[in-house]
């Protein structure tokens, strides 16, 4: 029997670094290294965080006595890089510089590939990303917005959407590339994608489109937004904060915590119920829109992400969309497992590594 493959997975977020070591796709050890907002604010630039994050990664390996000989591949969550189709990409210098410079959008997830490349260069371990947020498989007509100055772009929870889609395919007894799905990632950000035969041909943008979320405003009436922008009530930074971070449930109810909202509903808070139901309504509406994109009834509608743990929310969505297709609910994100499974596919030769 072949020796189990050792996989080191790195997932860098705004205030944390998740690190896990796998034997094949079975987790051996996993940690979430957390950072305070105050600590991170002391670094002038994103790139300045690298030495600290890399040192914490080394400490993780030492703490759990993971030898470099145990590691066959390093895989990182991708960053906001050059738009390209889904899949596995070798981390190279061009990717590292694009991400750290923020050429396509600045996000702390850029640090993960940089950390993986440092290990690759120092210890000779292959390093890849898979299904990054900038995954772009849009149909050409999906890029039109309504005015030539603005093009619709692909930016969504590709890693978790693709994992949930593959899981749905397995549960349906089919291959992902054989079926059509609508997948809704429900979390602090919400994205809803049309998966046609293994490609996401259209999807709501994670920051500027789709339903409102626990903390994001989603799509808005454009003329009213322009009026607000020029009203003098807030500057650009304040308005952007209102759209991303302090919008959605946070703006209407004062919290982005769905569990607190559910508690308020159980205590008879009608405003909280109406707002939460409105979010479910908007999610269902965009699921319907993405079903039209597929030009046929989907094989299934998939609900995933942290908010999929909310039975109130998923039940409301199910009531509105069950006529479309079977509804499959996979709560949580499991991005670390998605990374390990992606690395294993590459090492087993079932997925090709592409050049960035």
Tokens of 330: 């996979």
Predicted confidence at residue 1, as pLDDT, reads: 40
Residue 32 and residue 103 share a domain: yes
Same domain, 309 and 172: yes
Q: Which parts of the chain sit beneath pLDDT 50?
A: 1
DSSP-assigned states of every residue in 98-160: HHHHTTT---GGGHHHHHHHHHHHHH---EEEES-TTB----GGGGB-SSTT-B----S-HHH
Q: Do residue 242 and residue 168 come from a single domain?
A: yes
Q: Same domain for 179 and 50?
A: no
Residue 295 located in a structural domain: yes
CATH of the domain at 204: 3.30.420.40
In a domain, 301, yes or no: yes
194 part of a folded domain: yes
Would you say 249 and 255 are in contact if contact means Cβ atoms under 8 Å apart?
A: yes
Q: Which domain holds residue 252?
A: 158-331
DSSP 355: P
DSSP 8-state assignment for residue 104 = T
Rounded Cα distance, 333 and 230, in Å: 38
Within this chain, do residues 181 and 309 fall inside the same structural domain, yes or no? yes
Per cent of the chain over pLDDT 70 is 99
**Phi, psi (rounded to 5 degrees) for 30:** -145, 140
Q: Are residues 205 and 79 in the same domain?
A: no
> Is residue 97 domain-resident?
yes
Do 100 and 237 reside in the same domain of the chain? Answer: no
Quick one: 205 and 345 in the same domain? no
Q: Is residue 152 part of a domain?
A: no
Query: Would you give the distance in Å from CA 134 to the centre of its chain?
Result: 10
Same domain, 167 and 128: no
Alpha-carbon distance of 153 to 176, in angstroms, equals 24
C-alpha–C-alpha distance, residues 23 and 84, integer Å: 29
Tell me: the pLDDT tens digits for 101-157?
989 887 888 999 999 999 999 889 999 999 998 899 999 999 999 999 999 999 899
pLDDT digits (tens, 9 = 90+) for 80-117: 899 999 999 999 999 999 999 989 887 888 999 999 99
Flag whether 144 is in a domain. Answer: no
Structure tokens that stand for 57 in this block: 């990664």
Say what the pLDDT of residue 39 is.
86
Residues 163 and 300 placed together within one structural domain of the fold = yes
User: Quick check: is 191 in a domain?
Assistant: yes
pLDDT on residue 120: 94
Same structural domain for residues 88 and 207?
no
Specify the DSSP element, H or E, that contains 133: none
Q: How many CB atoms lie within 10 A of CB 248?
A: 25
- Look at residue 3 in the predicted model and tell me its pLDDT: 75
8 and 73 in contact (C-beta within 8 Å)?
yes
Number of folded domains in the chain? 2
Q: What is the pLDDT of residue 40?
A: 82
Whole-number pLDDT of residue 2: 61
User: Is residue 119 domain-shared with residue 163, that is, in the same domain?
Assistant: no
The answer to whether residue 10 is domain-embedded is: yes
DSSP state of 308: G
């Amino acid at each position: 029997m072949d020796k189990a493959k050792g996989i080191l997975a790195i997932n860098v977020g705004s205030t944390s670094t998740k690190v896990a070591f796998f034997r094949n796709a079975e987790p051996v050890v996993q940690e979430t290294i957390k950072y305070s907002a105050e600590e991170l604010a002391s670094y002038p630039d994103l790139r300045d965080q690298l030495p600290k994050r890399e040192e914490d990664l080394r400490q993780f390996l030492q703490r759990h006595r993971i030898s470099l000989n145990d590691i066959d591949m390093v895989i990182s969550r991708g960053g906001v890089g050059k738009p390209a189709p889904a899949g596995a990409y070798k981390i190279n210098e061009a990717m590292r510089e694009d991400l750290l410079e923020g050429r396509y959008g600045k996000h702390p997830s850029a640090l993960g590939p940089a950390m993986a490349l440092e290990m690759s260069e120092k210890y000779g371990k292959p390093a890849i990303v898979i299904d990054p947020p900038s995954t772009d498989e849009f149909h050409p007509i999906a890029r039109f917005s309504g005015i030539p100055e603005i093009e619709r772009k692909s930016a969504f929870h590709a890693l978790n959407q693709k994992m949930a889609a593959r899981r749905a395919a397995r549960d349906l007894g089919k291959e992902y590339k054989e079926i059509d799905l609508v997948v809704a990632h429900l979390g602090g950000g919400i994205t809803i994608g049309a998966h046609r035969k293994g490609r996401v041909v259209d999807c709501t943008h994670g920051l500027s489109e789709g339903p409102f979320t626990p903390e994001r405003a989603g799509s808005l009436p454009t003329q009213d937004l322009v009026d607000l922008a020029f009203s003098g009530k807030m500057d650009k930074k304040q308005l952007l904060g209102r759209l991303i971070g302090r919008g959605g449930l946070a703006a209407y109810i004062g919290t982005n915590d769905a569990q607190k909202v559910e508690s308020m509903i159980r205590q008879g808070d009608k405003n909280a119920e109406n707002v939460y139901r409105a979010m479910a309504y908007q999610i269902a509406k965009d699921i319907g829109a993405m079903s039209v994109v597929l030009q046929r009834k989907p094989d299934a509608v998939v609900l995933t992400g942290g908010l999929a743990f909310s039975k109130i929310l998923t039940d409301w969505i199910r009531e509105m969309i069950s006529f479309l297709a079977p509804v499959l609910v996979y709560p949580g994100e499991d991005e670390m497992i998605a990374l390990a499974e992606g690395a294993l596919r590459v090492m087993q030769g079932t997925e090709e590594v592409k050049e960035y």
